[in-house]
C-alpha cells in the first residue's frame, strides 16, 4: 500500500500520515527525515543534499527523487509506506512514477486532506508555542490553563511568525501554485481520494480507513 498525502500546510496531513503508518504498520516517510538521516549517516546522497542546504538553496528535484527512491527501496517498505511532503511538484511526481515503474511498482493512493484556506488561516493563527520548552497549544482547540502561559514550564506563549495570517496566506499561495496541479495529476491517474479535513481529526482518519479498505 503505497500512499501519498496531499493537503495544504496546516490541513493536518502529517497527523493523518502518522496515524495511517501506525495502523497499517508501514513507515511514515517525510522528506525532511530522509535528508536528516542521509546527512547524519554521511551517505553520498546526503553529502550532495548538504551542499545545497548549506547554501540555503532548494535541493534539486532529481536529488530529492533519488533520496526518496533509495528510502522506499529499503526492507521496511516492503508492505508499503506513507509519503508526507513529497512529491510537491509535477516533475517530482513524474520522476517518482518513472522510478517506481522501473521496479514494477506504482502509487496506490494519493489522499488529499481538503480544508478551505479560510479554515487554515483560522486554525494556524490560533496556534501558540512556548518560548521555553517548545510545547504547542491552540487558543480554541487546545488552550493552556492560563492564557499565554505554558502549562508545562510556565514560560510565555507566542504566535510564531510562521503562523501569522499574512505568512499563512503566502504559504497557501505557494501551495496552490505548486501542489494544486498534483491533485489534477493524480485524478487523471485514477488514484486521488479526497477527504474532508474540516471535521474532527478522528473522523478524518475513519474516512481514510474506509478508502484504504481495512
88 in active site: yes
Across 81-92, average pLDDT: 91
pLDDT digits (tens, 9 = 90+) for 175-192: 888 888 999 999 999 999
59 annotated to a ligand binding site = yes
Residue owning grid cell 496531513: 13
Max CA pair span of the chain: 56
Element (H, E) at 22: helix 13-24
Nearest-Å Rg of the Cα atoms of the chain is 18
pLDDT at residue 54 tops 70: yes
Residue 88: pLDDT above 70? yes
pTM: 0.82
Sheet holding 81-84, edge to edge: 28-30, 81-84, 2-6, 109-114, 192-196
Residue 33: what pLDDT?
84
Contact 14, 6 (CB under 8 A): no
Q: How confident is the model at residue 214 (pLDDT cuts 50, 70, 90)?
A: low
Q: Which of 48, 71, 88, 128 is catalytic?
A: 88
For the question of residue 128 being annotated catalytic, the response is no
* N-term to C-term CA, the chain: 11
Round to whole Å and give the CA distance between 57 and 158: 29
Q: Is 13 a catalytic residue?
A: yes
Amino acid at each position: 500500500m503505497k500512499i501519498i498525502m496531499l493537503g495544504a500546510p496546516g490541513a493536518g496531513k502529517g497527523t493523518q500520515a502518522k496515524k495511517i503508518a501506525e495502523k497499517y504498520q508501514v513507515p511514515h516517510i517525510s522528506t525532511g527525515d530522509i535528508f536528516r538521516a542521509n546527512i547524519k549517516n554521511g551517505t553520498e546522497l546526503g553529502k550532495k543534499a548538504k551542499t545545497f542546504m548549506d547554501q540555503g538553496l532548494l535541493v534539486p528535484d532529481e536529488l530529492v527523487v533519488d533520496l526518496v527512491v533509495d528510502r522506499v527501496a529499503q526492507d521496511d517498505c516492503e508492505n508499503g509506506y506513507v509519503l508526507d511532503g513529497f512529491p510537491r511538484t509535477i516533475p517530482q511526481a513524474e520522476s517518482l512514477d518513472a522510478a517506481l515503474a522501473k521496479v514494477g511498482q506504482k502509487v496506490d493512493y494519493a489522499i488529499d486532506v481538503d480544508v478551505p484556506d479560510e479554515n487554515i488561516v483560522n486554525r494556524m493563527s490560533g496556534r501558540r508555542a512556548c518560548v521555553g520548552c517548545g510545547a504547542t497549544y491552540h487558543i480554541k482547540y487546545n488552550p493552556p490553563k492560563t492564557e499565554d502561559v505554558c502549562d508545562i514550564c510556565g514560560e510565555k506563549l507566542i504566535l510564531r511568525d510562521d503562523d501569522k495570517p499574512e505568512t499563512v496566506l503566502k504559504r497557501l499561495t505557494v501551495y496552490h501554485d505548486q501542489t494544486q496541479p498534483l491533485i489534477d495529476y493524480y485524478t487523471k491517474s485514477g488514484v486521488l481520494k479526497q477527504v474532508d479535513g474540516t471535521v474532527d481529526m478522528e473522523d478524518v482518519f475513519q474516512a481514510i480507513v474506509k478508502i484504504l479498505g481495512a
